[in-house]
């Protein structure tokens, strides 16, 4: 099924999602973000099959500048490992951490926020106090404690980021639920005997999704930055390449080898920019007031 993008033809029969998709495609920011992210994904996922260099292998003299030797196009780091191979392999784990942490953040946040927002009263009080407890903890410090308690590994890092970042999502979800729970269509669902479970997940949530999807894309970007921060502080997984780890390890050599941190920094920048632009595009697309322009 193709969706028509003809401006003059948006008569009623379009489904809301298609409406959004059409609007999204008109948003230059969103499309640019999508293209960026697509390129990053191709780079990371297809890269290992095209550029077959082990990122851990010492292949050339340490701190060889980019372009000096043909077989190490982006130069080498302080050990003599290929930066390009590091970028390719680091991307997969960086994206992995971003996605896992993003999914975890959204899952906990939506679960807590929707239950609190829907039931209200004591349940709301209790869950919101819990949320506030997590919110007042300094996120980076708390994540560092979690990673310190368990041995730093890519899974622990992802989970730690998820655990510290869900409160914002929970509050957002709760606010949406508070707004929607007394609207007519919810009352209508209730009047035909729908159970709470059904109302929460099938009636309210789909209508609350718009801001949550926007927030999810931003969350992934934030999680990637968070992972970079932890790795920068030396709390990343040393057995896995990640962009943050490359920057953290290379910062000592910034005066002797700018390329050791510039390239991974650029990759993080592009990826996070990609997610942010998509979030921006979705925000525009979900907003009916902007859609008509």
Partner 1 sequence: MRKIGVMALAATLLAGTFGITPLKAEQGKPGGTLVMGTTQKARHLNPAVQSGIATAVPGTQIFATPLRIDENWQPQPYLAESWNVSQDGRSITLNLRKNARFHDGEPITSEDVKFSIETVKTNHPFKSMFEPVENVDTSDPHIAIITFSKSHPAALLAMSSALLPIIPKHVYGDGQDLKSHPMNNAPVGSGPFKFKEFKPGEYIILEKNSDYFLEGRPYLDKIIIKNYKDTTSLALATDKGEVTMFPFLSSTKDIRRLKKNDDLVVTSKGYEAVGPMNWLAFNTNNEILKNEKVRQAIAYGFDRNFITNALHGGQSTAATGPVAPGSPFYAADVEKFELDIEKANKLLDEAGYKPGEDGMRFKLKLDYIPGAAEMQKSVAEYLKPQLKKIGVDVELRASPDFPTWAKRVGGHDFDMSLDIVFNWGDPVIGVHRTYSCENIRKGVIWSNTQSYCNGKVDGLLKLAAEEQDTDKRIALYQEAQEIIVSEAPLAFINTLPYHTAYSKKLGNPPLTVWGAMSPLDEVYFK
Q: Is 82 in the site for partner 1 (CB under 8 A)?
A: no
Among 256, 266, 269, 288, binds partner 1 (CB under 8 A): 256
Which residue's CB is nearer to partner 1, number 78 or number 119? Answer: 78
The correct pick among 188, 252, 288, 290 for binding partner 1 (CB under 8 A) is 252
- Contacts to partner 1 from residues 34-73, by CB under 8 A: 54, 56-58, 61-62
In the structure encoding, which two tokens stand for residue 209, read together?
Answer: 């999704």
| Minimum CB–partner distance for residue 207 and partner 1 (Å) | 44
- Shortest reach from residue 148's CB to partner 1, in Å: 4
Q: How far is the CB of 145 from partner 1 (least distance, A)?
A: 9
Which residues in the 127-156 window bind partner 1 by CB under 8 A? 144, 147-148, 151-152
Q: Which of 82, 176, 227, 237 binds partner 1 (CB under 8 A)?
A: 237
- Nearest CB to partner 1, comparing residues 56 and 96: 56
Q: Which of 66, 80, 120, 265 binds partner 1 (CB under 8 A)?
A: 80
> How far apart are the C-alpha atoms of 169 and 166, rounded to whole Å?
5
Of 62 and 211, nearer to partner 1 (C-beta) is 62
| Cβ-contact 22, 3 below 8 angstroms | yes
31, 66, 78, 213: which one binds partner 1 (CB under 8 A): 78
Q: Whats the size of the chain, residue-wise?
A: 293
3-class secondary structure, 6: coil
Interaction residues for partner 1, span 185-214 (CB under 8 A):
none
Residue whose C-alpha is closest to residue 241's, from 44, 56, 40, 100: 56
- Applying CB under 8 A, which of residues 239, 269, 288, 290 lies at the interface with partner 1? 239
**Nearest distance from C-beta of residue 79 to partner 1, angstroms:** 6
Location of structure tokens 């495609």? 25
User: How many residues bind to partner 1 according to rule CB under 8 A?
Assistant: 26
Q: How far is CA 55 from CA 41, 52, 152, 159, in A?
A: 18, 9, 20, 25
Ordered DSSP codes for 82-133? BHHHHHHHHHHHHHHHHHHHHHHHHHHHHHHHHHHHHH-HHHHHHHHHHHHH
Sequence-ordered alpha helix ranges (H) in the chain: 16-26, 28-50, 83-119, 121-136, 139-149, 154-180, 184-191, 196-198, 205-232, 243-250, 259-286, 288-291
The kind and range of the H/E element at 203 are none
CB of 204 to partner 1, least distance (A): 42
Rounded Cα distance, 121 and 131, in Å? 15
Interacting residue ranges for partner 1, rule: CB under 8 A: 54, 56-58, 61-62, 78-81, 144, 147-148, 151-152, 234-239, 249, 252-253, 255-256
């Amino acid at each position: 099924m193709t969706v028509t993008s003809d401006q003059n033809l948006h008569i009623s029969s379009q489904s809301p999602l298609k409406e959004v998709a059409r609007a999204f495609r008109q948003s230059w920011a969103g499309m640019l973000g999508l293209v960026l992210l697509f390129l990053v994904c191709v780079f990371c996922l297809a890269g290992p099959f095209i550029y077959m260099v082990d990122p851990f292998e010492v292949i050339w003299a340490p701190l060889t500048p980019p372009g000096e030797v043909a077989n190490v196009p982006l130069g080498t780091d302080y050990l003599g490992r290929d930066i390009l191979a590091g970028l390719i392999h680091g991307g997969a784990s960086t994206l992995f951490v971003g996605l896992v942490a993003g999914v975890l953040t959204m899952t906990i946040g939506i679960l807590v926020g929707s239950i609190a927002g829907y039931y209200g009263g004591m349940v709301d009080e209790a869950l919101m106090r819990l949320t506030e407890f997590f919110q007042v903890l300094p996120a980076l410090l708390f994540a560092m404690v979690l990673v310190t308690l368990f041995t730093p590994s890519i899974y622990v890092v992802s989970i730690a980021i998820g655990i510290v970042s869900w409160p914002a999502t929970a509050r957002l979800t709760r606010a949406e639920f508070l707004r929607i729970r007394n609207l007519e269509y919810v009352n209508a669902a209730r009047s035909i005997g729908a159970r709470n479970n059904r109302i929460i997940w099938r009636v309210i949530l789909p209508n609350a999704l718009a801001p949550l999807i926007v927030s999810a894309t931003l969350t992934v970007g934030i999680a990637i930055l968070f992972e970079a921060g932890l790795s920068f502080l030396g709390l990343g997984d040393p057995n896995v390449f990640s962009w943050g780890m490359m920057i953290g390890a290379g910062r000592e050599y910034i005066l002797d080898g700018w390329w050791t941190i510039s390239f991974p920094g650029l990759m993080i920048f592009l990826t996070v920019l990609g997610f942010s632009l998509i979030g921006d595009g979705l925000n525009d697309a979900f907003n009916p007031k902007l859609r008509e322009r």
